[in-house]
Amino acid sequence: MSSLCLSIIIPCYNEIDNVIPLTQALEKALAGLEWEVIFVDDNSPDGTIKRVRDIAQHNPRIRGIRRIGRRGLSSAVIEGAMSSSAPIIAVMDGDLQHDETCLKPMITALQSGKYDLVVASRHIEGGRNDGLANGWRRALSQGGIWITQKLLSSSLTDPMSGCFAIRRSCFDERVEALSGNGFKILLDLVLARSTPLRIHEVPMIFRNRAHGESKLGLGVMVSFAIMVLKKVISKR
C-alpha cells in the first residue's frame, strides 16, 4: 500500500451541506494519490461533525475533529495539522469556493524539492476571483493585499488566500511561533520565522459559495491588519 502523501485540513463551521460534495470533489481531483481529509469543526450547531462521522464510517480517508470551547480558523488549521502525519499539509475552506483541482499541481511543485510553500492565487494569470461577487468583499480582499504588499514588501500576489500547501517539516518548524488567532493563517506562516520560505503560486478560480454564509467580514480584516502590524513591529 502506498504511503500517505497528503493531509488536507478543512476548518469548518455550519458546512453540513458542503461535506458530501466536497468529499466527492476531492476523490475525483486526487485520484491515484494517497491522501486524507481532516474536517476541524468548531462545534457547529447544524450537525456538520455528525455528517463527517457518517461518511467516515465507510470512507477511511475522512476524519473529523470536534472542538468545544475553541473557535477560529487559524487555530483549527494548527490543530488539524498537528493531528496528521503526511509529509505535505494542504489547507482549504469547506464552502466549495476553493478549486480542489489546484491540489495536484501544488503537490507536484512541493515534491519537486524547489519550494516549501505553494499558494493557490486568484491574482496570477489563469486565476479568477468570481466568488467575491459582492463589492464589499472585493474591497476587503484588496485591502488585505494592499496592507501586505505595502508594509511587508511581500511577493505574494494573494496573501489573503485560504488555499495553500506546505511541507510538514516547514510547518513544524514554524508552528510554535504562530499566533493561532484570526482567520488568515497563510501570512502568519510566511512571517513566523526570519528564514524565508521558497514560495510558488498556482492559479485558482475562486468559485461562488454553494451553501451557507461567508465568514469574510470587517472583523476578519481588522484581525488580519492587527496581525500584520504586530509582525512588522516585532521585526524592528
Are 81 and 7 a contacting pair, CB within 8 Å? yes
**Residue 215 is assigned to a structural domain of this protein:** yes
**Residue 117 is assigned to a structural domain of this protein:** yes
Torsional class of 209: left (φ above 0), alpha (ψ -120 to 50), beta (otherwise): beta
Query: Which one has a higher pLDDT value, 99 or 128?
Result: 99
SS (H, E, C) 115-151: CCEEEEECCCCCCECCCCCCHHHHHHHHHHHHHHHHH
Question: Residue with C-alpha cell 462521522?
Answer: 53
Residue 190 above 80 pLDDT? yes
**Residue 1 is assigned to a structural domain of this protein:** no
Question: In DSSP terms, which residues pair with 65 in a beta bridge?
Answer: 40
Domain span at residue 21? 6-234
**Residue 110 is assigned to a structural domain of this protein:** yes
How many domains is the chain partitioned into structurally? 1
**Residue 65 is assigned to a structural domain of this protein:** yes
Are 139 and 133 a contacting pair, CB within 8 Å? no
Lowest mean pLDDT among 6-15, 22-31, 192-201, 227-236: 227-236
**Residue 88 is assigned to a structural domain of this protein:** yes
**Residue 70 is assigned to a structural domain of this protein:** yes
**Residue 61 is assigned to a structural domain of this protein:** yes
Tens digit of each residue's pLDDT (9 = 90 or more) over 195-206: 889 999 999 998
**What does the CA dihedral 59, 61, 64, 65 come to, rounded to 10 degrees?**
150
Query: Which one has a higher pLDDT value, 135 or 51?
Result: 51
Lowest mean pLDDT among 20-24, 61-65, 93-97, 114-118: 93-97
Query: Which one has a higher pLDDT value, 55 or 145?
Result: 55
Q: What is the pLDDT of residue 195?
A: 87
Q: What is the CATH number of the domain that holds 160?
A: 3.90.550.10
Query: Which one has a higher pLDDT value, 180 or 234?
Result: 180
- pLDDT confidence tier of residue 37, bands split at 50, 70 and 90: very high
